Structure 1
């Protein structure tokens, strides 16, 4: 009925792009922030401006990763290294924290202005999972997880939450490391072999495979089914309702 192997006791869901329609908001925010930085950087270093690619660069370097790691990963791909700076750096400061804070400011503005829509097929699926007696957790690298879940009206669907704040507090490595998913499984009292990871990001699918979870579901919202399989998805669907 749920499209999962026998013996599964817990389901671990990524948020942006799996449960809520916020992945495109993050993508647009990354592009706006990086393009502004790259224009200034190119001008001051007498180099041609090459904009952030919202498909290739987003998928390869930032999607699913904690903000600081995503910022650093993309900049290194362009041969740019910035100081880490401080969490309190003003948005736009030319440090990893400053750029990351600018991106977060842009995301919060869009969420406050436009609200958040959940994927209806995902909501129906999580409700079916809970009705079947399986335990549920949300696992996200976002610092806005609580606000997004509340805005989307789906906060009550998840028993446990591992987000940016929890990862910082417990010193967990972000995706593609499996730490956050492993912590969510632990919070639900489930062995990894009996837990399922649901992810739309390549780094998240990779984390699910690295953690030796019993099953990894790739959710293909942007036409990257083959890449999701290559990174470790056992099955790929366009919407979770396909599993019902």
Structure 2
């Protein structure tokens, strides 16, 4: 370890780390949330369900769709509203969301969170192997857009999830596959997540440390992340380096 940087105190018990993409590495969660809102609100209006409240960008996103596959997220939100959509309707809403997200991504792009980049660079300097993991098929494109793809030794994205038939979060299969590719057991790997389903997946998978990221800066969100399995919660990952945001 001579000449290497020190690992931040909160991660000293692990030998590798797996980072979720949307909302942890890149600010793309806001684009996902806006696309979901447009797709769900249109579905409710066209279905004559105007009495239903519109999709909430914070609470509904965090509870029902964040961290999940498109089909799982679409079904979860509609069922939570007491609806019984057909499989075709679920697929249609998911496809609408995908179209809107892609259009907005290509038009506006995304950026990486500076605090995350600083932490990732520090961990790389300490010799820690790192993975990015996401149920999204856009993960590689997002990381390339943000200029951070080369910081991660491994990427497991939605294409791999489909190819390997990995179960969606809160099942830990995605993170376990990332740890397997890094060559480090889950008990010696950290998971860094901003979604309730994601921190629950980290806890279910037996990962050594589960770090929750609260981008809403909300006591309610922080409490929910801890309840679902996070060992600690930060507003920004620079905090693990002893920095302000």
Q: TM-score, normalised by structure 2?
A: 0.91
Residue 49 of structure 1 and its aligned partner are, at CA, apart by 3.4
For 1:5 and 1:137, the matched residues in 2 are separated by 15
What does the per-residue CA deviation read over 1:96-151, in whole Å, with 9 as the maximum and x for residues that have no partner? 22211111111111111111111011011101111111111111111211111110
| CA apart distance, 1:84 | 2.6
Q: Is the 8 A contact 2:14 2:189 kept in 1?
A: yes
Residue in 2 aligned with 1:17? 23
2:192–2:210 CA contact under 8 A, matched in 1 = yes
- Residue in structure 2 matched with residue 67 of structure 1 by the alignment: 70
Aligned ranges for residues 1-244 of structure 1 at < 5 Å? 1-42=7-48, 48-85=51-88, 95-222=89-216, 223=218, 224-244=221-241
Shift, 1:7, TM fit: 4.0
CA distance in 2, matches of 1:3, 1:27: 33
Helix, strand or coil: the match of 2:184? coil
Query: Aligned with 1:233: secondary structure?
Result: coil
Q: Where does structure 1 lack aligned partners over 5 or more consecutive residues?
A: 86-94
Shift of 1:162: 1.3
Give secondary structure in 2 for the equivalent of 1:134.
Answer: coil
Measure, in 2, the Cα distance between the counterparts of 1:121 and 1:55: 22
Partner of 2:3: none
Deviations along 1:146-189, one digit per CA (max 9) or x if unpaired, are 11111000110111111111111101111111010001000110
1:80 CA displacement:
2.1
How far off its partner does 1:220 sit? 0.7
Q: Write the distance in 2 (CA, Å) between the matches of 1:154 and 1:83.
A: 39
Paired residues, what number?
A: 232
Q: CA RMSD in A?
A: 1.3
Could you list the per-position Cα deviations for residues 171-213 of structure 1 after superposition, in whole angstroms to 9, with x for gaps in the alignment? 1111111010001000110100000000011110110001010
Taking the aligned partners of 1:186 and 1:116, their CA distance within structure 2 comes to 29
User: In 1, Cα distance between the equivalents of 2:11 and 2:34?
Assistant: 36
Distance 1:188 1:204 in 2: 19
Contact 2:11–2:190 (8 Å) recurs in 1: no
Deviations 1:1-57 (A, max 9, x none): 4233434111000011101011111111100100000011125xxx62321122221
Structure 2 residue ranges without an equivalent (≥5): 1-6
Contact 1:42 1:49 in 2 (8 A): no
- Return the TM-score normalized by structure 1: 0.91
